[in-house]
Structure 1
């Protein structure tokens, strides 16, 4: 008998199955600094203890997306070790801030299954919940992933695709307790533009581009303990459809978020992800650009200091965004790699 983990294949998943993922992860100041070094995010709340304390935090929190990637990374050995591709996200909410010293763990539940027409793969839908050492929910989300079958001839399960909300209800977003942003330091943030200054339909070209280096991607994905073969194993991926390793989709999300600082510098907190799609693969050597559209804005009940902005960020590879390349009603322009619909919290006047 083997003692090694070969990962679950599509046939191994059952509706209602609960997966308790291994290796709780304690986040440290070192993780925070490494994440900063890898993506260059400049949002002041996550960069400065002094800015954070002035807003009521005990110290600067961990970047929301670092928390997301760590929670996600726990799920990979059980859900997507044999994945072809991660396909999308929905119904994600960030419940509580994470600080250095907090330990994150993850549990997932299978909520949907559908075999693909090729008979060689299927799509697995899971809801994953990340908790801290006090068993408090930090974040939860749904994702769906295309997973290889062990045996193409094995019988297909009855298709069961979950109904997912088109967007997270803004009234269900969690504003951080015991914080106050009414006198938020806009000199420190680098922008005077607050929630009041943005309007639905507004488009923002984030201008800058970042070229993905293989070493940075490998280091970032290891930081999250994401062990998916498609990101690490050139021996196997060299024989696959692309002939090379894929960049983890979350790497592109973090790059797009970091790029969005130029134009959205006061979008201090990611509060929810309504939906996300990895439109096309991305590889080392590609240069990522991003632009955003404001889809909506909502005040937060009981919080005169914070408002919610619903943002759609499109990331491209090797294609500057001045032309806003995205035939959104008729598919996607060549070069579009990410379409992310999410909520941020931003200080108000």
Structure 2
């Protein structure tokens, strides 16, 4: 968002998508052209079929070809899984960013934070600066420092940057202050965005040192209009007021920690939670973190990876989480809205797939 406001043509590759596959590949916030997707598959089918690339690899290749076709100035590439062995790691970036380390995809990346950190550290490249957003413990810090030293890569810890950094949460997001920016409005709500903002500001500082022209107004406009400029959804996104309905895609221990923290700071009469999980996540840990003073609407998303709602509810009861089961996200949300008064708060989450189903419902209702 900031780079496009600075006048750059910016390609953005992210995953997963929530409603439309084309969300994964954008240029200045605009999704990849539908015809380009069709043509790309048809034109490359013969080359791809013998090597059988994964869905993610195919999508990544499509993004790179599209960004070249659109002649972008900058491409921001999000890794899919880990870093070291991720297909996106083929690139040689100007700057690498590791936001945080959480216990997720442990069957592939390892079951401890240092093991996962070692995989993520794989994106640290020779003589290329790397910004580290959060450091969970000293073992993780040591892994990053050692890898950066091996690659002769300057390493910058965002938490150690920006003296006099202060932040205040409001109903419209965050107000940030430091020595360079006063009253910087970040439209993205949710506690995790406070950490992310510091990481972004550190990254922008490093890009300026590398020669990027990023005026202050681009930083202010970028932070204030993230959703409009990037199309990103599901980040503590308010869907309606009275009652306030918010969704968030946070689905691992790290993400849920911030969601629970944020929920504890909100003002409401009663808390209603529409909740479902993927079947490969650590349900026991996540459920143990969830607030007990809420009415739950357990459900499952419309994908094969969804955790069965009865299994979820049974596990939840062991953690004193009480509520009813609903076979679809639509039924769960309808029940929550029916039971809530205008001073209540409805939270939707537990899985990106749950949020995707809700956003698809809203999208379809807006179309009709």
Verify same fold: TM over 0.5.
no
Larger Rg: 2
Give the TM-score, by structure 1 length. 0.23
Structure number with the bigger relative contact order (C-alpha 8 A, sep ≥ 6) is 1
* Structure with greater strand percent: 1
